[in-house]
Amino acid sequence: MTIAPTTHRPTTALDLSDAGNWHAAVPRAEFARLRREAPVAWNERYDGHRGFWAVSGYEEIGLVSRDTARFSSREGVISLDDFDNAQSDARRTLLEMDPPQHTAMRQITAAGFGPKAISRLEADVRRRTIALLDQLVGAGPFEAVSALTKQIPIVTLCSILGVDDRRRDDLVRWSDLLIGSDDPDFVDPAYSHFTLEERRMLPFGHPASLDAFALGRELADDRRRAPRDDIVTLLVQGEVDQRPLNAEEFLNYFLMLVVAGNETTRHTMSHLLVALAENPGEWARFRRDRLNPRLAVGEALRWATPVHFVRRVAVAPVELAGTMIAAGDKVAMYFASANRAEAWFDEPDAFRIDRARNPHMAFGGGGPHFCLGNFVAQLQLRVLLEEMATRVAAVELVGKPSRLRSNHVNGVKSVELRLHAAS
């Protein structure tokens, strides 16, 4: 039996594009209602941008994510705003491409992010993680984002990209500014002279991208002279349509990696630490029963879901879950919802450190854009869990986490913790 598409528009009760509606917590109750009543719902906007479809159903997200012919990435992925063509082109990275252009772009760095290349980083990641834990375990309360969860991903990222460790703090600062533009804590007066029009054409709409570009140019010049075993070398040697990447393609690719590799892994680690503090029995069980760290990594990713949504645009009229979507409509896939879907996860609102059935969508809903950095992220999370298991008896939450104000990233700005030493 075919179901006739509805002509009425089921709607969201909250404006999900309003960062204020995510600041205190992810709006779980609204997503539970949407999954039940309207897995594809219209979200009106009241700030001049057109509204969009909020897809909260697990199955529907899988369909949209895999169907690149009908749901395009070209008009923007990480924002719910309307972009004109010039703006989209100026900001474009492989995230905002469809096959076959996307396939060629992704191919350039794919080997550098594959399991073989990433496994070579393990000893180094472990050494750095141990060094950080040695300073923090048993040493009294500390702010965990700056002392621990920011540190591991940025060191790894510098090593993959081939960025000198002395530029580490710059990379963290730039990606904080680029991701945190809806949070008053991340307003930097150094960039206040940039006009709205200038910002409009910049990646993430933020002039900090220009500073990251300057570093990207330096690195590219260096690697053209002296190639190394790193991602920047792959980028300067890489080709699309039998030509090297142009300056804009290279710089946007580089910047996207800086941000993608930095924020997401950090926030997953921060949410994991909070979850371990709030579920001491799960941590005790993990240590006592030597549970599988790979399952714990999966649960950390599901629990944290650091990227709330990614967006597509419908290229032609299409029906989804009985709802008609018009050509040109924006469609946001809410992983924040899918990862708590009752039909796919037993007791989805519980943190289960050895959750065995865990088809989470933290890295995307499947298809060609599935997170390129997933092996790097999982390696770092696994090493952190393994090294904590032998050193940390309990994680104690000393202060309430301070959350990033963002409609896109489930960020933790700071959290006071204590790591109690294992005897």
Half-sphere exposure of 354 (CA within 13 A, CB side): 12
Nearest to 270 by CA among 183, 179, 156, 142: 142
DSSP 307: B
State which of residues 9, 23, 106, 200 lies at the interface with ligand HEM (CB under 6 A).
106
User: Does the N-terminal peptide bond of residue 39 adopt cis geometry, omega within 30 degrees of 0?
Assistant: no
> Is residue 364 a contact point for ligand HEM (CB under 6 A)?
yes
SS3 breakdown of the chain: % helix, strand, coil, rounded to 5?
Answer: 50, 15, 35
Alpha-carbon distance of 350 to 247, in angstroms, equals 47
Cβ of residue 281: shortest distance to ligand HEM, in angstroms?
25
State which of residues 79, 264, 279, 407 lies at the interface with ligand HEM (CB under 6 A).
264
Q: Measured over all CA atoms, what is the biggest interatomic distance in the chain, rounded to whole angstroms?
A: 64
Q: CA dist 240 to 76, 228, 244, Å?
A: 21, 21, 6
Cβ of residue 379: shortest distance to ligand HEM, in angstroms?
9
Q: CA dist 417 to 134, 187, 240, 397, Å?
A: 15, 26, 47, 5
Cβ of residue 378: shortest distance to ligand HEM, in angstroms?
8
Cβ of residue 152: shortest distance to ligand HEM, in angstroms?
11
Print the binding letters for residues 222-261 with ligand HEM: x by CB under 6 A, - otherwise. -----------------------------------x--xx
Site for ligand HEM in 288-347 (CB under 6 A): 301, 306-307, 310
The nearer residue to ligand HEM, 263 or 418, going by C-beta atoms, is 263
Return phi, psi of residue 62, to 5°.
-60, -40
> Is residue 175 a contact point for ligand HEM (CB under 6 A)?
no
State which of residues 205, 373, 401, 411 lies at the interface with ligand HEM (CB under 6 A).
373
Alpha-carbon distance of 204 to 373, in angstroms, equals 19
Of 18-26, 36-44, 134-142, 371-379: span binding ligand HEM (CB under 6 A): 371-379
Alpha-carbon distance of 87 to 196, in angstroms, equals 12
Which amino acid, residue 212? A
> Is residue 61 a contact point for ligand HEM (CB under 6 A)?
no
Cβ of residue 118: shortest distance to ligand HEM, in angstroms?
10
Cβ of residue 56: shortest distance to ligand HEM, in angstroms?
15
Token code pair at residue 355: 């959750």
Of 278-286, 343-351, 366-374, 408-416: span binding ligand HEM (CB under 6 A): 366-374
Buried b (16+ CB within 10 A) or exposed e, 232-241: bbbbbebebe
How many Å separate Cα 75 from the centre of its chain?
A: 19
Helices (H) and strands (E) in the chain, counts: 18, 14
The nearer residue to ligand HEM, 38 or 108, going by C-beta atoms, is 108
State which of residues 92, 330, 340, 369 lies at the interface with ligand HEM (CB under 6 A).
369
The nearer residue to ligand HEM, 180 or 306, going by C-beta atoms, is 306
Binding site for ligand HEM (CB under 6 A): 65, 73, 77, 94-95, 106, 157, 257, 260-261, 264-265, 268, 301, 306-307, 310, 362-364, 369, 371-373, 376-377
